[in-house]
Copies of this chain bind each other. A is one copy, B any other.
């Protein structure tokens, strides 16, 4: 097979089209795609350093911002904790376990739409939605 350490499944790079690509942006995006566990910028930085020791925290922030602005990645915010990053672009919310801080995706039910449960005032154009739940996992 002859794989080496730089091999990576870049199968769904369509989200990156039109974004000027740099080694750092590639690495940051790959970090997010490989675990999909809502890391903070610092956590992305720690992981990215494994493959790219010279990358800086400022660059990780810049790359994450570029990916978010490009629509390839979404930010998740609980309270005023560090921003977390999520490469799942389908409609979904998030749940954070109060004990561990772990964040998981919560899919929207098929066919559900905002207007079904929210009384939106006339004339508002919604560009972004965050649905964030916190609580405990019982068992």
Q: Copies per complex?
A: 2
Q: Which residue of B lies closest to A134 (CB)?
A: B128
The answer to the question of A108 belonging to the interface, with a C-beta cut-off of 8 Å to chain B, is: yes
Q: Mark A112-129, 1 if CB is under 8 A from B, else 0.
A: 101011111101111111
* A124-B109 CB under 8 A given contacts A77-B77, A130-B132: no
Contact sample, A vs B, 6 pairs, CB 8 Å cutoff:
A77-B78, A116-B117, A123-B137, A126-B133, A126-B135, A131-B132
Complex alpha-carbon distance, A126 and B132, angstroms: 10
Q: Across the interface, which residues of B come within 8 angstroms of A104, CB to CB?
A: 121
- The minimal Cβ–Cβ distance linking A108 to chain B, given in whole angstroms, is 6
Q: Across the interface, which residues of B come within 8 angstroms of A78, CB to CB?
A: 77
Check if B116 sits within 8 Å of A112, measured CB to CB.
yes
Q: Across the interface, which residues of B come within 8 angstroms of A95, CB to CB?
A: 120-121, 124, 126
* A118-B93 CB under 8 A given contacts A79-B75, A127-B98, A131-B131: yes
* A123-B107 CB under 8 A given contacts A117-B117, A129-B132: no
